[in-house]
Chain A
């Protein structure tokens, strides 16, 4: 209603102002003619009608305007969005109910206060900028999010949208129109959404990283599988090449003895084609007794896992396609695929090796003989010396005999004695030569049943001259009732003699006041072997000499060859015995050797 009053008031004012103007214009009416007045009156009348019509029109428009304005006011006041009208300076000139609600103040309280008072201090700067921009670019719409300070000092986020309103105020001051929209709900929802979003994103992210990781792993696995497959292929190729290039024949059989695979060497060794063997029983490669037994071997092994020589190398015979036999080395291994047991046999054709071994053995024998012959050559000088002595003596004794015969007074006894001496020396020379000959030809041991004590006696007989010469005391301690043993009597006698001669040399170096002694003993040891000891009380053997004593050509004698002990050792070794010695400086040495009963 008040609006109606306003419009009436406005109307009255309008009439008043019109009358005032009219009064000013009425100054000259008295000087007008009646026609003129009539005319004027008419004109007035027209004009009045016109005005009335205009007025009518105006009134209508005003009514419309009023309706529109009411609508606007209603809209303004009851809109859910807060509206605030500001003047140029930023003072609040109007605010709707929503805005009041938002700011927690009444309209009256708001009017005349500055908008900025209700802005969060932190947002002021932004708001200021927004406000300036709004003034500057009035045709553009700007938005800003600010926090509004409520009367209860609480802040709520508000979306602020401004426009430069072209409504001219009464004061013709340009006003700004701000809409304030509470953000809190929206924002909370948005926040929630964004939070959820973020969570989701995080989840998605995590899941995708996990996925990525898994993917990568999968890829790695794939690569691994691929490379291991490559490796496998490579290995298989390698193994295949090894398998086929191997000199050894490789046969795999299943638990029934049926050949699963063979390599090329097998066909070479046995003369069969691959298809003649694969699928057939492995017995095909074996000579008779094994061939018949093989399936039983397998069965037994599978039952007991004991009887077969897994891992060990055995020398067996194989059978070629043409029926000939060949010596082979066989080693077996076992492997399982699932429940099935397979065996791999490595077969080496050793016929060549066997042949070589035989040849080598022959060579070795020849070499031994040659070595011995060479040794003989080396010993020639020594032999010459040994033979020269009796020869010289023989020549001299003979000369003596001749001179005796020429003599006037023939001493027959002396002559006989001298001839006997001559004979003895001749026999001695013969012995040396025959010993050497036996030694040279004794490539193999000519065993005969011998009483070792007899050998000792014989050797002693050959050394007795020397005992006498150096006045050596000798003692014999021979075990009674020794069993006869199978040895080469000549060789063993030579060893004993050699040891005795060495002992004689050792004791003859003794100082004058010492009595040289040599003892020879025989023992029966543990009913298994016979031992012969030659003991002297000579100077003994130094540690340096001990290390070399059995080395060929090592000697401490002026006229020695350095072969004696070396030969003795090999002769005893050839009989399955051992030659050893004990010695200490100043006390003497004992050389002893054993001969096994079994030979």
Chain B
């Protein structure tokens, strides 16, 4: 998937209309696509993890606050960068947000230049890492399709174990190992052992 500044979407989640409206105008004015939501729930409803984006998130909101949304996104394995905006710079809350992976925590009323700068930084980082991230995602997606036994065989292969050694370790026959190996190669869509090892490295398994 080709990715550039135009394909990235900046999400604004704030229960206050004027904030959403003004931020939308501002961020659009520097050429980003903006989608705004009045609550965490409506955002989650529309959220697509395949879509590269950046989240501007208000901390204080009814029903589901910023921290709770951050948690929910983490549960969904989303790596979307989050910039918190909040009316009160509550240290415990902000530190919790940072620990959970927030990229910034900006106090309202904020310097719009700073916010835009942070958005730009995050977007560029996203553009840089997006292909690899996508690839990793793809590899992990394939990996989840492997059976338990196939994963064991996979781990042994990428660690340079021969069929014999693998069979001995797993206490199964050489033929069975070969069958598993063939399935692994097929499921991971790898044409050679080299490709498989590279995939394992990108996927963080090696």
Contact = CB atoms under 8 A, between A and B. Distances in A.
Nearest to B63: A509
A400 B60 contact: no
A558 B61 contact: yes
A501 B145 CA distance: 51
Nearest to B38: A469
A385 B60 contact: yes
A400 B116 CA distance: 11
B87 A400 contact: no
Interface in A134-170: none
Which residue of A381, A385, A505 has the most chain B CB atoms within 10 A of its CB atom?
A: A385
B62 A388 contact: no
Contact of B29 (A404, A505, A557): A404
B62 A400 contact: no
Interface in B111-152: 111-113
Contacts of A557: 62
Contacts of A399: 26, 112-113
A392 interface: yes
Interface residues of B, number: 26
A392 B59 CA distance: 14
Given A399-B112, A508-B62, A421 B30 contact: no
A484 interface: no
A558 B62 contact: yes
Contacts of B65: 558
A591 to B, nearest CB: 19
B60 A396 contact: no
B168 interface: no
B25 interface: yes
A15 interface: no
A427 B112 CA distance: 21
A400 B26 contact: yes
B109 interface: yes
B29 A400 contact: yes
B108 interface: yes
B17 interface: yes
Chain A facing B: main interface SS = helix
A385 B112 CA distance: 18
Contacts of A391: 108-109
Contacts of B113: 399
A403 B26 contact: yes
B17 to A, nearest CB: 5
A558 B29 contact: no
Contacts of A385: 60, 87-88
Interface in A384-439: 384-385, 388-397, 399-400, 403-404, 407, 418, 421, 424-425, 428
Interface in B58-112: 60-63, 65, 85, 87-88, 108-112
B23 interface: yes
A396 B19 contact: yes
A390 B18 contact: yes
B21 interface: yes
Interface string B22-50: 11011001100000001000000000000
A47 B61 CA distance: 189
Interface string A550-566: 00000001110000000
A392 B108 contact: yes
A396 B62 contact: no
A63 to B, nearest CB: 169
Contacts of A390: 18
Nearest to B39: A508
A465 interface: yes
A26 B2 CA distance: 223
B165 interface: no
A389 B108 contact: yes
Contacts of B26: 396, 399-400, 403
A404 B17 CA distance: 21
B108 A421 contact: no
Interface in B155-206: none
A391 B109 CA distance: 6
Contacts of A558: 60-63, 65
A446 B18 CA distance: 33
A381 B110 contact: no
Given A384-B88, A558-B60, A558-B62, A403 B18 contact: no
Contacts of A509: 62-63
A388 B65 CA distance: 17
B59 to A, nearest CB: 10
Given A465-B17, A469-B17, A508-B62, A388 B22 contact: no
A395 B29 contact: no
Contacts of A505: 62
A505 B63 CA distance: 10
Contacts of A466: 17
Given A395-B112, A396-B112, A400-B29, A421 B87 contact: no
Interface string B5-19: 000000000001111
A215 B10 CA distance: 119
A393 B22 CA distance: 6
B38 A389 contact: no
Interface string A45-70: 00000000000000000000000000
Contacts of A381: 88
Contacts of B61: 558
A396 B23 contact: yes
Given A397-B22, A558-B60, A389 B16 contact: yes
Contacts of A470: 38
Contacts of A469: 17, 38
B76 to A, nearest CB: 21
A384 B87 contact: yes
Given A509-B62, A558-B60, A559-B60, 7 more contacts: A392-B85, A393-B16, A395-B111, A396-B22, A404-B29, A468-B17, A558-B65
27 contacts: A385-B60, A385-B88, A388-B87, A388-B88, A389-B108, A392-B19, A392-B22, A392-B85, A392-B108, A393-B16, A393-B22, A394-B22, A395-B110, A396-B19, A396-B22, A396-B25, A400-B22, A400-B25, A403-B29, A421-B18, A421-B21, A424-B18, A465-B17, A469-B38, A509-B63, A558-B60, A558-B61
